[in-house]
Amino acid sequence: MSATAAGGLERAIALGLTQYEYELIVERLGREPNEVELAMFSLLWSEHCSYKHSKPLLRTLPTDGPRLVLGPGENAGAVDVGGGLAVAFKVESHNHPSAVEPFQGAATGVGGILRDIFAVGARPIAILDSLRFGEPTSERSRYLLDRAVAGIGHYGNSIGVPTVGGEIYFEAPYEQNCLINAMCVGLIETERLIRSAASGAGNLLVLFGASTGRDGIGGASVLASAELGEGDEDKRPSVQVGDPFAEKKLMECSLDLLERGLLVALQDLGAAGLTSAACEMASKGEVGIDIDISRVPLREPGMEPFEIMVSESQERMLCVIEPDRLDAVVAVCEHWETAVATIGVVTTGGLVRVLDGERLLGEMPVSALVDDCPVYELDPQPPSAPLYQPPARTIASEEPGEALLALLRSPNIADRRPLFEQYDSIVQSRTVRRPGAADAAVLALPPRDGQTPGIAIAIDGNGRRVAADPYHGTIEAVLECAANLACVGAEPLGLTNCLNFGNPEKPHVAWQLCESVRGLGDACRALEIPVVGGNVSLYNEGAEGPIYPTPVVGLVGELPDVHRAGRLGFRAEGDRIAIVGDFAPDIRGSELACLGGTELPRALPGIDIARVAATQRAVRDAIRSGALASAHDIAEGGLATALAECCLAGGLGAEVVLAETVKPLRALFGEAPGGFIVTGGDGELRALGEHVELHIIGSVSGNQLTIIAGEARVELSLELMREAHGALAALFD
């Protein structure tokens, strides 16, 4: 190997490439890459951009559906919600940046997912977040929580998009690698959706938005495609810095340009910056692109060419326009006080050329950069020994009343209101069901045919259950999210996902990933829900091991009339309470078992997805017809926890009697998919029971929760339960 080649290989390895990948680049180019070319390859061939370990798995997921408008491959997916409207949505991760710099990492994660939505022409109308941190007793976890939540609130509140829901878990495997997943939903007239494929030789490449700086350089390869470890503080320059007020102007400018029909294609600049945006646009349109870096507006003097090409500075968009529309585009950008520059041109021949005026700095085939990235076969092998330490025991007694209070105050179940109060959930005036009022957020759409239709959105995941059984645990996550939609009367139309896993080069992590994707696909096929897109975040581990495998799923559904959207709180004295569904609870892997310090099981019970889906349809239809006063799915903490949550949300007590033969702990605190707590009149409940398994177990009454389960008895006042359930407030003082 020549000295030049050896130096190139050394630089490639420093940028996260392997020797094999460097040799492949040399083969594709027919020569050694220069500094600019090597930087571009290192970003586009990173795990974050190329999905080189997960792409074959993702291709197995179902992506077709009768309401699908945009599927995988675009900035966001979209489904038809009637009335000429589509809902665009996607979930993304910003895990590694948030572990290094939580405020800016989380804030720019929100900014990035917002741009994905308005990049397809949709106006963002809602944000949800899925968060994971270590135990709340940890000083590091408390710091990450405080700063990440502040970053999310800062960005979303400043730009005027409501945060309407989400989830948060605290568990030891996330101590070093917190998870910050953000989902955004947008609304658009279906015919106005725009794609990102560049086209038309001679058309102009226009960059608008913020100036380009050194922040975020190498983020996709330095942070998002490797394990975190010693020296993470040195990676802070790789975390982008966001400005929500600049993004607000950028969003309005983008939507104005689209409204006027001035754009051929539109793409946001996220991971890998100009490199990714331009090359992916060229790949999708099967064209070439010339970029002149001397025309890129810079925030910092003296930036190197490669820095300009890979900078991940925020609040920037790239568009393709016809030359005769340039003046109109510039006028719109000036109106919104948004910087704009023509930086290139669409070409034929399939090459990406980087120039500095007349000087050629790099020339690469688009196919080599984007389409022919190396793809690696996984070596999945189930672990021969437990991967995770048992959680610390935090429960003093398994006496049912004490156990219920312990569950209500546990950080994974306690009232999320202190978290949601950090966010604005009602800006834009679409929110019908605020966080905590129902199992899913409900947003109103424009009135139609004498009704006010709406959409319901939810995001869910349970890493501990997936760690116990990646296949069945992932199915449970999908069913839980769909159950949340059913409780407000919504039919799921499409699913987005974020797959958060450890190092896929390790056989046990590869097995977790393969089994989880298999479960995701089987669940979506059974529920007839297409996967419209998503994100993969790998290498979430450090010296102490991987995170829990955490597939997070987000669903969008529709309901015909938001005025009949379901609520989880009990509504009226005397309403009858019933369990709906073929519910077979199990203590293994449950929240109670976790509080008891029990080791994770090696498997979860099998699931009859078709039966669970039938139960969900029955509950959904009963909500839509107005037959039910309330509905809440039985999830973490089991039946007793669900009953307590219904009592607290409605400010009413309940008297419940279970069969004398039940095993109290399993009946009260066991977990499994498929069960709901519903209330209504005797006649309405018995009518529902003609279509699905249903057992009336009690009535709404008084100001305490009383449960008789075999020989066990629980009697807790609303005041006592509310005090326990408010335990999370201490984290946000």
Residue 234 has a pLDDT of 44
Is 338 within a domain? yes
Residue 222 has a pLDDT of 46
Write a three-state SS string for 261-297: CCCCEEEECCCCHHHHHHHHHHHHHCCEEEEEHHHCC
Beta strands in 173-218 (DSSP E): 179-189, 204-209
Residue whose C-alpha is closest to residue 535's, from 605, 611, 457, 459 = 459
Residue whose C-alpha is closest to residue 541's, from 233, 133, 178 = 178
Q: Tokens standing for 688?
A: 């529902």
Beta strands in 58-113 (DSSP E): 68-70, 77-82, 85-93
Task: Return phi, psi of residue 255, to 5°.
Answer: -65, -35
Residue 270 has a pLDDT of 87
Residue 233 has a pLDDT of 46
Domain that holds residue 75: 49-371
Is 2 within a domain? no
CATH code of the domain containing 78 = 3.90.650.10
Is 73 within a domain? yes
CB count, 10 Å around CB of 732? 13
Is 26 within a domain? no
Q: Choosing from 53, 94, 472, 508, which is the catalytic residue?
A: 94
Q: From CA 279, how far away is CA 9, in angstroms rounded?
A: 23
Which segments of the chain have a pLDDT < 50?
221-225, 230-237
Is 684 within a domain? no
Is 118 within a domain? yes
Residue 190 has a pLDDT of 96
Is 181 within a domain? yes
Residue 591 has a pLDDT of 96
* Catalytic residue check, 691: no
Please say whether the beta carbons of 239 and 100 come within 8 A.
yes
Q: Tokens standing for 154?
A: 């800062």
Q: Tokens standing for 537?
A: 């975040």
Collapsing DSSP to helix, strand or coil, 516 comes out as helix
Residue-wise pLDDT tens digits, 570-627? 999 999 999 999 888 999 999 999 999 999 999 999 999 999 999 999 999 999 999 9
Q: Choosing from 48, 96, 154, 632, which is the catalytic residue?
A: 48
Residue 236 has a pLDDT of 39
* Catalytic residue check, 725: no
Beta strands in 582-702 (DSSP E): 630-633, 654-657, 676-680, 694-700
Cα 464 from chain centroid? 17
Number of domains in the chain: 1
- Which long-range CB contacts under 8 A does 62-65 form with residues at least 24 apart? 62/521, 62/524, 62/525, 62/529, 62/530, 62/531, 63/530, 63/531, 63/532, 64/530, 65/493, 65/494, 65/528, 65/529, 65/530
Is 318 within a domain? yes
